[in-house]
């Protein structure tokens, strides 16, 4: 069942709070989550807990819910004139011969800017991430598998049991050391497929300042996800709900 088909409940207030209600066999208790990307509220309950009981829990958390929703970053559409970060450096989107230049991302006139910019960012991200993965893997004596780039909402990267790496291409908008940390984190899983102290020791060897960079992502990651690259007139484009 997708998020669009999950049951919705509404708690009264100004404005009313719309809540996606989920029952999960893996849930051990009732939990509330507010997406930092779009403010969507998800209420997850164990099968042993009724909808009514779960909603009562949500009602008790309304002040917390409203505070979390207020912190969500407003969506920003990529279009000529917009200024977005490339490796954390502000770049203005302008019309011209396509490419990423000092302080500018140039797009062809007459075409939607968002998909063009996304294509250029993905290409740059692949180059930077592939270089970092090879460098870190060499330091730990491992060979990574296939590298794929995705636009994931719940994680910045992952490493499969086969050694395949997945990274979010939006990392190309973060500072270069932050991108490097996430790659180092996933490469460290080639050595340890867990988050044990031994794993974090590998991360620290590859990236001594990893705590600083992880903190940056926790504070600013939602702003990277706020950028919308879909063509504005495309069905389903704009802000995602």
- Asked whether residue 36 carries a pLDDT value surpassing 90, the answer given is no
What would you measure as the largest C-alpha separation in the chain, in angstroms? 60
- Cβ neighbours of 225 (radius 10 Å): 20
Cis? peptide before 172, omega within 30° of 0: no
**pLDDT tens, residue by residue, 100-147:** 999 999 999 999 999 999 999 999 999 999 999 999 999 999 999 999
Predicted pLDDT of residue 6:
63
- Asked whether residue 158 carries a pLDDT value surpassing 50, the answer given is yes
Q: Are 53 and 77 in contact (CB under 8 A)?
A: no
Q: Are 108 and 98 in contact (CB under 8 A)?
A: yes
What mean pLDDT do residues 83-95 have?
97
CATH code assigned to 114-228 = 3.30.2010.10
Predicted pLDDT of residue 102:
94
Question: Where in the chain are the domains?
Answer: 8-70, 114-228
% of the chain at pLDDT higher than 70 = 93
- Altogether, the residues listed in the chain come to a count of 241
For the chain, the C-alpha Rg in angstroms (whole number) is 20
CA-CA distances (angstroms) from residue 181 to 2, 144, 159?
32, 16, 14
């Amino acid at each position: 069942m997708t998020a669009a088909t999950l049951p919705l409940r509404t708690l009264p207030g100004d404005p009313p709070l719309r809540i996606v209600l989920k029952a999960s066999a893996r849930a051990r208790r009732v939990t509330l989550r507010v997406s930092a990307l779009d403010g969507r509220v998800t209420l997850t309950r164990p099968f042993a807990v009724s909808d009514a009981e779960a909603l009562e829990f949500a009602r008790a958390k309304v002040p917390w819910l409203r505070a979390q929703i207020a912190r969500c970053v407003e969506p920003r559409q990529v279009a000529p004139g917009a200024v977005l970060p490339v490796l954390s450096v502000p770049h203005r989107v302008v019309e011209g011969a396509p490419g990423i230049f000092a302080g500018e991302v140039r797009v062809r006139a007459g075409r939607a800017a968002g998909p063009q910019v996304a294509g250029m960012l993905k290409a740059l991200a692949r180059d930077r991430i592939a270089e970092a993965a090879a460098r870190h893997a060499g330091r730990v004596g491992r060979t990574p598998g296939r590298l794929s780039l995705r636009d994931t909402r719940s994680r910045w990267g992952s490493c499969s049991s086969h050694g395949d790496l997945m990274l979010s291409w939006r990392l190309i908008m973060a500072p270069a050391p932050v991108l490097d940390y996430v790659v180092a984190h996933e490469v460290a899983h080639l050595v340890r497929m867990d988050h044990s102290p031994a794993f974090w020791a590998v991360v620290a060897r590859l990236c001594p300042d990893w705590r600083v960079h992880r903190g940056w992502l926790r504070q600013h990651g939602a702003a990277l996800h706020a950028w919308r690259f879909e063509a504005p007139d495309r069905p389903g484009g704009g802000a995602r709900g």
